Structures are given as structure tokens and as C-alpha cells.
């Protein structure tokens, strides 16, 4: 590729949000020359390719929030996209299980959220109906969510990227190049990567685990930091797979920023159990012993990290203990399926989630997208961002139309 090649808009980050944004921009403005740059050799190498593959329903999110709005819209778009392009998926439904009476008030709250968010088809179910759906689950009742599903997010990302180039052959998808710096001029921006230099009119950053660093480099006044949380999974062995039909979730603890350990039938027909949530010492580290000095210093010198740990000491300790104990992990799984044994589970893969953590240790921020210096920055896009990707792409396209004067 020739150095200093010029593009109208450059998207940094080849996860599903970045590629969905490129796709939506190219659909609306087919004459634009777009460049998407991904530092890894393959698209969807981090959060997108290492999540649980769930198409979320919109059940959990505060009515009126960006998460609620884009999750429901994005889910419908995503399923339609998967059908149109033969992406492996299944709208199989899930149960959210109440194990004891103390969980019923919060179960009722998320059910009302689901109604307010137009999550179609949801219903409260009793223990008998729960057994009909998932025979090995023990609970007093729950919520049936028929519009939840599973999908191959890697294949979706690759298809989105391919369609960008189909729509505009002068647009390019580049992998294996890391953006090192960018210098804004009066009318254009010069981008330097590990291999090339490019000229672009505007930039959109969808950098996930590196979002805060690239934003600060661009002059965004950002007090929060991205903190990575590794999630470890187990898989059911072949002899135990019959114990899970589709998706099984616990009632989430309202004091904890994650949905809890759950069971997911993947598009491969494997059954995953997890994830836990432990702060990682390497933002892009997927092994328990992975370590990066800069990432570690960044996390442990940030007061928001300590506030999070001090505010949730019991959770933090329990999550770390489970990360190194199959027995403790199994005990958590047995809360939903008591008949599981040590021989029924085996270690699986891991993923890392990017959470924009504020100085008070709060991780419950909504999706956050800001404009600065001829650039749009996706600062916070945790779950359900993969489900919502096409709707997020619409919102970024609308922002770009306004701020970049596109026509």
C-alpha cells in the first residue's frame, strides 16, 4: 500500500462496533472512501470474539437509557442481518431463574424493565413451567425471555467488513497494523501506523480496551479509566450437555455490575458456563497469569480501582477464589443445576471486558460516545454492545453526519 493514501473517514478498531459503524456509514454514504484499521491480524480478536455469543433481549437495562434503546433496536436488526446473510444464529430463548424468595423483588424489577423496554414475549413463569423449559434447573420460578438468542459474532464481524468493500471498492479493511499517532491539521489528519501513513478527513475510534488511551491522546478530557475484567469459562463435558437446552441465567445481584455466571448453548452446540469477573493485570490478557506492567500500573494507581474493590470486597475476593478453584466454580453452577458434578465441567476459554470505571469505583455507566477534534470516540461500550452494534452504528453515523458535514 502506498503511504499517505487519503480516505474520507478512518475507523480505528476492528471489533463488531467498529465494523458495524463502517458498514452503516458506507450504506448511508456509498461514495465515501472509508479505512478501517485493526491492530490484530484478524478482526474481532478481543471482546467481540471472546464473549458468550448471546443476542441480548434488553431485559436488564434502565428504560430510556442508550443501552436499553440500542439493545432492542440492535437485536432486531442483528437477527434480520443474520437471516439475510446466513450467519449462524438461533433465537432460542432463555430463562432467568429465581432460586429463592429473596430474589423475587429484583426479578419483578427486571421484568418491569423488560416491559418498559418493549422486550417482546417475556413472561413470568412458575417452577413447573421452568422445569418444562430446562428440566435440570431447580428454582421457584423465573422469567421466560423468548427473544434472546445466540450468534456467531466473529462471522458477523467478518461479513460486515466484507460488505463495506462490496459497497465501495475504494474503501479498505486493514489488519495487522496498529495506530501509533495522529496529527490533526487544518483540514485533514495524518495517521501513523506501525507500517504506513494515511491521510484522513475524520476519525472514529472504536477501540474497546484501549478506548481511554486513544481518547486522551486525542485531547479528550477523560477522568475515567478503562479497567479490564477477565471472565473465565468452563464447558460442559459431552455426558453433561443434555442438562442445558438453551440459555440459563441467574437473577443478577443488583449490587454487582455483571449478570452472574450463566449457561449458554453456543452456535457450535458446546455449552459454556460462566463467566466470572476478575480484574486483569493485562488489558488484553486471556490467561490467569498474564501480566503487563503498564496496564497494571494504570489500574492500581487509579483511585477508582481501589474504590471498586473497597466497595465490593466480598465480591472481589469470591471472584478471585473461583478463578483458581474448579470446586468453587462448580458450587456456583450447582446453585442453578444441583446435579452437576466435577466430572461434568472442564476448563474453557476466557474473555476480557472493558469497563469505563469512574473515580468513585462505579462501573454502571451507560454507553458513551463523544465528539472531539474532528473525531468521534466510543468511550464505553460494554455488554450489550455486540447485540446493539448495528443500532450503535446508526447513532454514530448520525453523529458523523452532523459533525463531519456529510452529504
CATH number, position 360: 3.30.9
Q: Which three cell numbers stand for residue 169?
A: 471498492
Give the separation between CA 307 and CA 362, rounded to whole angstroms: 8
**Radius of gyration (C-alpha) of the chain in whole angstroms:** 21
In this structure, the answer to whether residues 250 and 348 fall within a common structural domain is yes
Please give the tally of structural domains in the chain. Answer: 3
What are the backbone dihedrals phi and psi of residue 133, each rounded to the nearest 5 degrees, phi first? -80, -45
In this structure, the answer to whether residues 159 and 296 fall within a common structural domain is no
Q: Which residues of 348-365 are buried (b: 16+ CB within 10 A; e: fewer)?
A: bebbbbbbbbbeebbbeb
Q: Determine the pLDDT at residue 178.
A: 96
In this structure, the answer to whether residues 260 and 158 fall within a common structural domain is no
Q: Determine the pLDDT at residue 1.
A: 46
In this structure, the answer to whether residues 294 and 345 fall within a common structural domain is yes
Q: Determine the pLDDT at residue 104.
A: 96
- Cβ neighbours for 139, distance < 8 A, ≥ 6 positions apart: 97, 98, 99, 127, 130, 336
Domain-located, residue 338: yes
Pairing of strands 197-205, 189-193: antiparallel
1, 138, 154, 247, 319 from 250: Cα distances, Å: 50, 11, 26, 10, 16
In this structure, the answer to whether residues 333 and 252 fall within a common structural domain is yes
User: Cell 414475549 identifies what position?
Assistant: 121
Taking the C-alpha atoms of 170, 389, 201 and 177 in order, what is their torsion angle to the nearest 10 degrees? -70
145 contacts 95 by C-beta, under 8 angstroms: yes
In this structure, the answer to whether residues 191 and 205 fall within a common structural domain is yes
Q: Determine the pLDDT at residue 115.
A: 96
Tens-digit pLDDT profile for residues 309-342? 888 887 788 888 888 899 999 999 999 999 999 9
Looking at residue 102, the DSSP 8-state letter turns out to be G
In this structure, the answer to whether residues 127 and 202 fall within a common structural domain is no
In this structure, the answer to whether residues 379 and 255 fall within a common structural domain is no
35, 330, 340, 344, 386 from 326: Cα distances, Å: 44, 6, 12, 11, 29
Tens-digit pLDDT profile for residues 3-40? 579 999 999 999 999 999 999 999 999 999 999 999 99
Looking at residue 242, the DSSP 8-state letter turns out to be G
Domain-located, residue 161: yes
In this structure, the answer to whether residues 341 and 329 fall within a common structural domain is yes
Question: Could you list the residue range(s) of the whole structural domain that residue 188 is in?
Answer: 5-48+154-224+366-403
Q: Determine the pLDDT at residue 363.
A: 79
The secondary structure of 314-337, three-state, reads HHHHHHHHHHCCHHHHHHHHHCCC
DSSP 137-205: ---SEEEEETT-EEE-HHHHHHHHHHHHHHH-TT-EEEES--EEEEEE-SS-EEEEESS-EEEEEEEEE
Q: Determine the pLDDT at residue 316.
A: 80
Q: Which residues of 11-43 are buried (b: 16+ CB within 10 A; e: fewer)?
A: bbbbbbbbbbbbbbbbeebeebbbbbbbbbeeb
Domain-located, residue 81: no
Q: Which three cell numbers stand for residue 371?
A: 465528539
Low-confidence ranges of the chain (pLDDT < 50): 1
- Cβ neighbours for 269, distance < 8 A, ≥ 6 positions apart: 241
Domain CATH for 160: 3.50.50.60
In this structure, the answer to whether residues 283 and 331 fall within a common structural domain is yes
In this structure, the answer to whether residues 299 and 347 fall within a common structural domain is yes
Give the separation between CA 327 and CA 181, rounded to whole angstroms: 47
Helix segments in 96-150, DSSP class H: 104-116, 127-133
Across the strands, what pairs with 236? 345
End-of-domain residue from the set 111, 146, 181: 146
Q: Determine the pLDDT at residue 3.
A: 55
Q: Determine the pLDDT at residue 105.
A: 95
In this structure, the answer to whether residues 332 and 371 fall within a common structural domain is no
Domain-located, residue 84: no
Domain-located, residue 283: yes
Q: Determine the pLDDT at residue 2.
A: 52
- Cβ neighbours for 209, distance < 8 A, ≥ 6 positions apart: 46, 47, 226, 228, 283, 284, 352, 354
Amino acid at each position: 500500500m502506498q503511504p499517505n493514501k487519503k480516505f474520507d473517514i478512518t475507523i480505528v478498531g476492528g471489533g463488531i462496533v467498529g465494523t458495524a459503524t463502517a458498514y452503516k456509514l458506507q450504506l448511508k454514504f456509498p461514495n465515501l472512501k472509508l479505512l478501517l484499521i485493526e491492530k490484530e491480524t484478524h478482526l474481532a480478536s478481543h471482546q467481540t470474539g471472546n464473549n458468550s455469543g448471546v443476542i441480548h433481549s434488553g431485559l436488564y437495562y434502565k428504560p430510556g437509557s442508550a443501552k436499553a434503546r440500542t439493545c432492542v433496536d440492535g437485536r432486531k436488526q442483528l437477527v434480520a442481518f443474520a437471516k439475510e446473510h446466513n450467519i449462524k444464529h438461533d433465537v432460542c430463548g432463555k430463562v432467568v431463574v429465581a432460586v429463592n424468595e429473596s430474589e423475587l423483588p429484583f426479578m419483578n424489577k427486571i421484568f418491569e424493565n423488560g416491559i418498559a423496554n418493549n422486550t417482546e414475549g417475556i413472561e413470568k413463569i412458575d417452577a413447573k413451567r421452568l422445569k418444562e423449559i430446562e428440566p435440570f434447573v431447580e428454582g421457584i420460578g423465573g422469567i421466560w425471555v423468548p427473544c434472546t438468542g445466540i450468534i456467531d459474532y466473529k462471522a458477523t464481524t467478518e461479513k460486515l467488513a466484507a460488505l463495506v468493500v462490496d459497497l465501495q471498492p475504494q474503501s479498505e479493511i486493514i489488519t495487522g497494523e496498529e495506530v501509533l499517532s495522529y496529527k490533526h491539521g487544518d483540514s485533514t489528519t495524518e495517521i501513523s501506523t506501525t507500517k504506513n501513513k494515511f491521510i484522513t478527513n475524520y476519525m472514529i475510534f472504536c477501540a474497546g480496551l484501549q478506548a481511554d488511551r486513544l481518547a486522551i491522546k486525542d485531547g479528550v478530557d477523560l477522568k475515567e479509566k478503562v479497567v479490564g475484567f477477565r471472565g473465565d469459562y468452563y464447558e460442559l463435558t459431552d455426558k453433561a450437555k443434555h442438562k442445558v437446552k438453551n440459555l440459563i441465567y441467574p437473577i443478577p445481584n443488583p449490587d454487582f455490575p455483571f449478570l452472574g455466571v450463566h449457561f449458554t448453548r453456543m452456535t457450535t452446540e458446546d455449552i459454556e458456563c460462566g463467566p466470572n469477573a476478575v480484574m486483569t493485570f493485562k488489558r488484553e490478557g486471556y490467561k490467569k497469569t498474564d501480566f503487563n506492567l503498564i496496564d497494571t500500573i494504570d489500574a492500581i494507581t487509579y483511585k477508582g480501582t481501589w474504590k471498586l474493590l473497597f466497595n465490593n470486597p466480598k465480591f472481589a475476593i469470591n471472584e478471585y477464589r473461583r478463578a483458581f478453584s474448579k470446586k468453587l466454580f462448580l458450587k456456583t453452577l450447582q446453585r442453578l443445576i444441583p446435579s452437576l458434578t466435577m466430572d461434568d465441567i472442564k476448563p474453557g476459554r476466557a474473555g476480557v471486558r472493558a469497563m469505563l470505571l469512574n473515580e468513585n469505583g462505579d462501573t454502571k455507566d451507560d454507553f458513551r460516545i463523544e465528539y472531539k477534534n474532528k473525531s468521534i470516540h466510543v468511550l464505553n461500550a460494554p455488554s450489550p454492545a455486540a447485540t446493539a452494534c448495528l443500532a450503535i452504528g446508526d447513532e454514530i453515523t448520525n453523529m458523523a453526519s452532523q459533525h463531519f458535514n456529510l452529504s
